[in-house]
Amino acid sequence: MNVVQKKIDLLIPYVNNAKIHHKEQIKKIAASIKEFGFNNPILVDAKNGIIAGHGRLEAAKILDMKEVPTICLDHLSDAQKKAYIMMELDPHYCDVIIKRWQNFTGKEAVREDGAKFNEQN
C-alpha cells in the first residue's frame, strides 16, 4: 500500500456516509493533526471517492491544508466498499444512528433475529 498525497479538492465525499462529524469533533481532529501530524491517511477508491476519513478531510480544511495523505483501496468491489464503510462505524455510533432513526420515524428498530433494539444489544 502506498500513501499518496492528494489535493483535497479532488476527494469526493461518500454521499451516503452515515457518520456525522459535529464541529467540536472536527476541531478535536484538527488539533490532533496539528499536534501529532496526519498519521491516519484518508482511504479512497480509484475515483477518489472517500471510503473512510470524512472527518479528517474536514479537519484538513480547517487547518487550511491543500493536500492530505491517502491510500487507494482500488482492489475492493462496490459491495466490499459498502461493507468496509459500515465496518468503520464504531458500535457506539451505530447505537446513535439507530436511536436517531427511531426518533425520526417513530418506529422501533428490530434486529434480523426479531429481537428489539436496546442499549444492551
Is the domain of 55 the same as that of 13? yes
Q: Are residues 57 and 18 in the same domain?
A: yes
Residue span of the structural domain in which 40 resides: 3-89
Mean pLDDT of 6-16: 93
Burial letters for 83-110: b for 16+ Cβ neighbours within 10 Å, e otherwise?
Answer: eebeebbeeeeeeeebeeeeeeeeeeee
Q: Are 58 and 28 in contact (CB under 8 A)?
A: no
CATH number, residue 7: 3.90.1530.10
End-to-end CA distance of the chain: 36
103 shares a domain with 53: no
- How many separate domains does the chain show? 2
Residue 8 CB coordination number (10 Å) = 15
> Does residue 85 sit in the same domain as residue 47?
yes
In this predicted structure, which of 53-57, 68-72, 87-91 has the lowest mean pLDDT? 87-91
Residue that has been written with the C-alpha cell 447505537 in this structure: 95
- Report residue 81's pLDDT band, with 50, 70 and 90 as the boundaries: confident
- In this structure, are 97 and 62 located in the same domain? no
Residues 51, 95 within the same domain:
no
Domain shared by 28 and 85, yes or no: yes
Strands 3-7 and 67-72: antiparallel
> Is 113 found in the same domain as 67?
no
Res 58 pLDDT > 80: yes
Euclidean distance between CA atoms 85 and 17, whole angstroms: 8
